[in-house]
Amino acid sequence: MNLDATWRVTEVNALSLSLGIGYEKYLEHDQYSRAIITPGSQLAWDILVKDVRINLHDWFSYQEDPTIWGGVSGTARFGGFYNTVGFLASWDLHDAVLSFGYDHFNFISSTSQYDYLTRSSDFLLARASFQVHPSATIGLEASGGPTTYKEPTLSPNVTYSFGPFADWKATEHIQLQTRAGYYQYFFSDKGLDGGGSDQSGYYLSLKLIHDLKWNIAYTLEGGRESFIGNQSSLTEQWYGAFYLNWGGLKNISVSSGLRYETATQSIGQIGDNYDRLYASLHLACPIKRKLTASLDYRYWLKNSELTAANDYEQNRLVLQLAYRF
């Protein structure tokens, strides 16, 4: 069940709540059945003070989906409680927008097997964007902060990153977005797994958004990214994705996606290269004026070079009924 509510406190200030709760029932292996709070759940307050817009937020979810991290295999339960609380202030100077934000992140593992991943992080963000043309915006952004773990298994670390970004609306129907930059991670030697080594590299992404005729739109995206894996080291990943939305059929909306990932993660002194393929198909049809039915199919396939035990295949079918008051 999803709830979305907005309270217009004033003409320019609003308090909003999005909450998605549910229960996943396993027809086989009932021990894995669990309650969930869906990603996207949040409490937010938007405040406008002259030319400064301030967003106060608390984003939270509770999920145990092992496909969240590509490096996780061989388990049906991975995850727990995710919570991010913070603010983002944006000062609009007409041809320039200056932004500054802070977020505090907590992850609490729901299983003792992955309790060593329970951690907290603090992140600062600074961004400056400039409108150099009515259809083009460029800018610079920087972020960083420390991460500490509840248990001494993994190494605490501090990271920073910086780089340029650009957004160009080439035509009324074509938009290009790109980001690139450099990152650095400093790992402490306090972790029991060794740690102590620093890692650096670059990130980049390029996204094309194209709206066609007949209510058809597609997105092409690709790039390189890195993130903390399930050990005291980075997972470095190249990815490419294609998403298609089609509303041309009478009373039926169709969307589909295809994503490919190739990644390297370190496990102690052993490196694991793995590939993942994701495909999805979503169909939605209104039954009555306020009632909509949708059908979701999602597919994951993973191949690991380390061992066949890390390979998996997942098929998921979701039927949803949505009633809008």
Does residue 193 carry a pLDDT above 80?
no
CB 244 within 8 A of CB 234: no
Q: Spell 8-44 as b/e; 16+ CB within 10 A means b.
A: eeeeeeeeeebbbeeeeeeeeeeeeebebbeeebbee
Average per-residue pLDDT in the chain? 90
Q: Which residues contact 161 (CB under 8 A, 6 or more apart)?
A: 142, 143, 144, 181, 182, 183, 184, 203
Residue with the bigger pLDDT between 213 and 47: it is 47
Q: How confident is the model at residue 104 (pLDDT cuts 50, 70, 90)?
A: very high
Does residue 298 carry a pLDDT above 70?
yes
Q: Which residues contact 250 (CB under 8 A, 6 or more apart)?
A: none
Q: What's the pLDDT tens digit per position in 106-135? A: 999 999 988 999 999 999 999 999 999 999
Name the residue among 234, 157, 158 with its Cα closest to residue 202: 234
29 phi and psi angles, rounded to 5 deg:
60, 65
Residue 229 DSSP symbol: -
Residue type, 260: Y
Whole-angstrom Cα distance, residue 3 to residue 324? 9
